[in-house]
Amino acid sequence: MESILTIKNLTKKFGYLTAVKDLSFTINKGNVYGILGPNGSGKSTTLGIVLNVVNKTEGSFHWFDGNTSTHDALKKVGAIIERPNFYPYMTAEQNLKLVCKIKGVGLNKIEEKLEVVGLLDRKNHKFSTYSLGMKQRLAIASALLNDPEILILDEPTNGLDPQGIHQIREIIKQIAAKGTTILLASHLLDEVEKVCSHVVVLRKGVKLYSGRVDEMISSHGFFELKCNKETELLAFIENHPSFSNTKTDSGLITAFLKEPLSSEDFNKQLFENGIILTHLVQRKESLEEQFLQLTDNN
Amino acid sequence: MFRLLNLELQKLLLNRTSKVLIFVSFILPFFVILLSSIKINVFGFFTLELGELGVFNFPIIWHLTTFFASQFKFFFAIVVVSMIGNEYSNKTIKQNLIDGLSKKEFILSKFYAIAFFSLISTVLIGLISFCIGMYYSSYDQIDIIFRETNFLLAYFVKLLGFFSLCLFFGMLVKRSAFALAFLFILFISEWIIFGLITWQFDHHVATKIQNFFPLQSMYNLIEQPFQRVAMSKFPEKAELAYDYLVHWYEIAIVLGWTALFVFLSFKLLKKRDL
C-alpha cells in the first residue's frame, strides 16, 4: 500500500519533559486515522513536528516516498491545527488567495471550497467578524484548496457549540467519503469512533496501540441482562464456561464473555434452564471503554 | 522571488495601519522636501526661501535630501516590526509554515519586502532631489549634477540595514512594542559602550570602534549636512572641516550587518518551536 507519512523513532523533549517518546507509525493512503490520547499526551507535538513547526529532538519522518522536502510535501497536505489562524483584517477570500499563493495553486478553487463549507455568502466579510464555527470552517476550506492527498485535523471541534460540531463532522464525513486520507487527532472518542478506521493511541508521549479500531483490545463483548429471577441467573452465569465475570448495577447485570457466544444460543440455554429474560443486549465495548481499559492497564 | 514579494505585499497593503504608515513614510519626507523648497512667507515678517541659501545646489542637495528623508525611516520601522509581531500574535506564521512555506522563504519574503520598499523610497528621493536641483541649482553641468549621487546608494543601504535590524529584533522578541524598545536600548547601549571605551582608552580608539556599531555605522553613511552647509558659507574656517563623503568601507560594514541580521533571523526561526 502507498504510504503517505512514515514516522520512525520520533522523540521530542522540551527541557526535562519528554513530549513524544520513540514514536513510530505509518499512515497509508485511503484510510481514516485517529490519533487518540488524553490532553498532553503528545498528539499536537507529533503533528507539529511533521508539519514543520516544531523541531524534532531525535528520530526521523518522511512524507510520501521520502524524496520531497518537508515544505514541498506540505503543499500537498491540508492541515488545521488547534485554532484557525488567519489574518483578521483580510476577508475570507483574500485569506484564501494568500494560501493559494503559498501553496502555488490556482485561484479558481476558492469559490468551490467556500461552497463546500457553506461560507460562500460571507466571502467578502473580514475574518475578524466570523464566529468560531465559521473560522473553523474557513480553516477547512483553506486546507482543502489544493485538493490534498491527506487532511490533518487537530481537535477540529474544540470549543464549538453542538451545531458547529455537527457541521464540522458532516464536512469531515463528506471528505472521507471521497477517499481522501484523513488524520484526526482528538480526545473526543465518539468523534474518532464515528469516522476513523484506524487509530494510534498515545499516552504521555508513548504509543500504546496502533492498528484497526475494532482490533484495539481482544474482547468478545458482553451481555446486558435483566431478569426477575436474578439470583438464579447469576448462578447460571457463574457456572457457564463462556463467561469471565459479571457486574450488577441496579438490576442490570453485565456479563463479560471470554469466548464467542451468540445471543441466540445464550437465550436458548437460559430458556431451557427455566430462566426468562426481560432484557437482553449483546454489545462490544465502545471505543471509550476500550480506550480507558488500554490506558489504565499500561 | 516575485512570489514571496507578492505574498508579503498582500499582507502589508491589505492592513490599514501598515498601509497608512507606509504612505506616511514615503509621502511625508517627499512633502517636507517639496515644501522646504518653495518660498514661504512667514506671516508677512520675512520670507523664508531655503533655495537662496544654496542648499539645493548640486551636488550638496543629494546629501541634504537623503539625510532628511532618512529621518523618516522610523515610520517604516514600525511597519517592519509589526509585520513580524502580527504574524506571531495572529499565529499566522505557524499557518504559513503548515501551508508549505519554508522557514527560509518566510524570512526571505520579509527581506524582499524591506528591499522593495527601500528601493522605492530611494527612487522617489532620487527623483525629487533631481527635480528640485534642476530648478534651483546654480550649476547644471552633467558631471556636477551626478557627482555624489552615491548618497542615494548610501541611503538605500542605510534603509536596508536599519530595517534588517528591525526585522531581527522583531523575530527576537516577537512583539512590536518590545522590538522598538530594544532598538532604543541598542541606541543607548552603543553610547554607553562608546563612553566606557573612551574612559578606559581614549577618544580616538573609541571613535574607531564605534564606527563598527550597527546604528553608528548606519549613521556614518550619511552624516549631518549642517556643518557642510556652514563650511560652504565660511570656507576659511578650517575647524569646520569633516569627512562627510560616502566611503566604500562604510557601505561594506552596513551590508555586513544586514547579512548578519537576516541570517540570525533565519537561525532564530529555524531553532524555534512555534
Q: Is A90 near chain B, with CB under 8 Å? A: yes
For residues B260 and A258, the model is more confident at B260
Contact yes or no for B7 and A101 at CB 8 A: yes
Per-domain boundaries in chain A:
3-215, 222-297
As a CATH number, domain A222-297 is 3.30.70
Percent of all residues in chain B with a pLDDT value above 90, rounded to a whole number:
41
Q: What is the pLDDT of residues A70-93, one digit of tens each?
A: 888 888 899 988 788 999 999 999
Parallel, antiparallel, or unpaired: how do β-strands A150-154 and A181-186 relate?
Answer: parallel
Least confident range from A178-187, A197-206, A207-216, B7-16: namely A207-216
Q: Which residue of B has its CA nearest to A55?
A: B273
Q: What is the pLDDT of residues B218-263, one digit of tens each?
A: 988 888 888 887 777 777 777 767 777 888 899 999 999 999 999 9
Q: Is B268 near chain A, with CB under 8 Å? A: no
Chain B residues in contact with A83 by the CB 8 A cut-off are 91
Average pLDDT, chain A: 86
Contact yes or no for B6 and A88 at CB 8 A: no
Interface of B with A in 14-43 (CB under 8 A): 14-16
For residues B96 and A292, the model is more confident at B96
The ipTM is: 0.84
For residues B28 and B181, the model is more confident at B181
Q: What is the pLDDT of residues B170-206, one digit of tens each?
A: 999 998 889 999 999 999 999 999 999 888 888 888 8
Least confident range from A38-52, A188-202, B42-56: namely B42-56
Contact yes or no for A55 and B105 at CB 8 A: no
Q: Is A150 near chain B, with CB under 8 Å? A: no
Residue A246 and residue A132: Cα distance in Å, rounded?
A: 46
Angle among Cα A235, A238, A244 to the nearest 5 degrees reads 155
Kindly report the nearest CA distance between residue B116 and chain A, in angstroms. 19
For B102-151, the DSSP string reads -HHHHHHHHHHHHHHHHHHHHHHHHHHHHHHHHHH-S---HHHHTTTTHH
Average pLDDT, chain B: 87
pLDDT > 80? residue B51: no
Task: State the pLDDT confidence band at B46, using cuts at 50, 70 and 90.
Answer: low
Per-domain boundaries in chain B:
2-271
Contact yes or no for A81 and B274 at CB 8 A: no
C-alpha cell at B155: 541611503
Q: Are A66 and A6 in contact (CB under 8 A)?
A: yes
Q: Is A86 near chain B, with CB under 8 Å? A: yes
CATH class held by domain A3-215: alpha beta
Q: Which residue of A has its CA nearest to B4?
A: A102
Q: Which range among A134-138, A201-205, A243-247 has the greatest average pLDDT?
A: A134-138
How confident is the model at residue B33, as a pLDDT? 78
Helix, strand or coil, per DSSP, at residue A28? strand
